[in-house]
Chain A
Amino acid sequence: MSESLSLVGQLLFAGLAIGGVYALVALGIVLIYRATNVVNFAQGEFSMLGAYTLVTLWQGARLDYFAAMALGLAIMAALGLLFELAVYFPLRNRSFLPVIIATIGASIMFQNGALAVFGPSPEKVRPVIEAGGSGGATVGGVFFDYQYLVTLVVTLVLVGLLYLFFEHTLLGKKMQATSQDKDMARLLGIPVALMIALTFIYSSVLGGLSGMLVAPIFFVTHKMGATLGLKAFAATICGGFGDARGAILGGLAMGVIESFGAAYISAIYKDAFAFLVLILFLLVRPQGIFGEKVAEKA
Chain B
Amino acid sequence: MSEAAPVKTTRRGRLRAVHVAPALAVVAAAALPLLFTSRYSTNLLILGAAWSIATLGLVVVLGYAGQISLAQAAFFGIGAYAVALGTTRGEMNWWLALAAGLAAAAAAGAALGMTTLKLGGHYLAMVTICFQIIYTLVATNWVAVTGGPDGISNIRRPSFVVPLVSAQRYAWFALAALLAVAGAVWWLRDTALGRAMLAVRENELAAQALGVNTQRVKVVAFTLSAAIGALGGAVYASGYLYISPDSFNFDHAVSFLAMALVGGSESVLGSILGAGLLTFLPEWLRELKKMYLVIYGCAIILVIVFMPEGLWGYLRLLGRPFARQAPPPAARRALRVGGRGTAGEEILGVEGLVKHFGGIAAVDGVDFVVRRGEVHALIGPNGSGKTTCINLLSGLYVPTAGRIRFLGRDVAGQRPSRIAGAGMARSFQNLRLFRELTVWKNVLVGAQRGGAGEAETRDRAAAAMAFAGLADRAHERCRNLPYGHQKLVELARAIAGEPELLLLDEPGAGLNQTEKQDLVELLRRLNGMGLTIVLVEHDMSLISRAATVATVLNFGRKIAEGTAEEVLRHPAVVEAYLGNREVALGV
Residues of A within 8 A of B (CB): 38-39, 41, 86-87, 90-91, 94, 96-98, 100-102, 104-113, 115-116, 226, 230, 233-234, 237, 241, 268-269, 271-272, 275-276, 278-279, 282-283, 286, 295-296, 298
Contacts and interface: CB of A to CB of B under 8 A. Distances in A.
A108 B205 contact: no
Interface string B105-148: 00000000001101111110111011001100100010000000
Given A98-B308, A100-B122, A276-B134, 8 more contacts: A100-B125, A104-B300, A109-B301, A112-B294, A113-B294, A272-B133, A275-B134, A283-B115
A271 B137 contact: yes
A233 to B, nearest CB: 6
A139 to B, nearest CB: 35
B308 A101 contact: no
Question: At the interface, is chain B mostly helix, strand, loop or mixed?
Answer: helix
B121 A96 contact: yes
A28 to B, nearest CB: 15
Contact of A298 (B133, B261, B428): B428
B305 A90 contact: yes
A298 B308 contact: no
Interface of B: 66, 68, 70, 115-116, 118-123, 125-127, 129-130, 133-134, 137, 141, 205, 250-251, 254, 257-258, 261, 290-291, 293-294, 296-301, 304-305, 308, 387, 390-391, 396-397, 428-429
A171 B423 CA distance: 53
Given A116-B294, A298-B428, A105 B115 contact: no
Contact of A268 (B141, B293, B298): B141
B116, B123, B387 pick with most chain A CB within 10 angstroms: B123
A112 B120 CA distance: 29
A20 B304 CA distance: 34
16 contacts: A96-B122, A98-B304, A102-B300, A104-B254, A108-B297, A109-B296, A230-B126, A234-B130, A271-B133, A278-B126, A278-B130, A279-B127, A279-B130, A282-B116, A295-B397, A298-B396
Nearest to A241: B122
Contacts of A94: 308
Contact of B261 (A101, A111, A230): A101
Contacts of B121: 96-97, 100
Contacts of B137: 268-269, 271-272
A107 B257 CA distance: 14
Contact of A282 (B70, B123, B304): B123
B301 A286 contact: no
A241 B251 CA distance: 27
B300 A101 contact: yes
Contact of A104 (B70, B397, B429): B70
Q: What are the 6 tightest A-B residue pairs by CB atom distance, in nearest-first order? A: A109-B297, A105-B300, A108-B297, A275-B130, A112-B293, A105-B301
A51 B545 CA distance: 71
Contacts of B429: 298
Question: At the interface, is chain A mostly helix, strand, loop or mixed?
Answer: helix
A295 to B, nearest CB: 8
A39 B122 contact: yes
B291 A112 contact: yes
Contacts of A241: 122
Given A234-B126, A286-B123, A101 B290 contact: no
Nearest to B297: A109
A254 to B, nearest CB: 13
B391 A298 contact: yes
A175 to B, nearest CB: 21
A97, A113, A116 pick with most chain B CB within 10 angstroms: A97
Contacts of B301: 86-87, 102, 105-106, 109
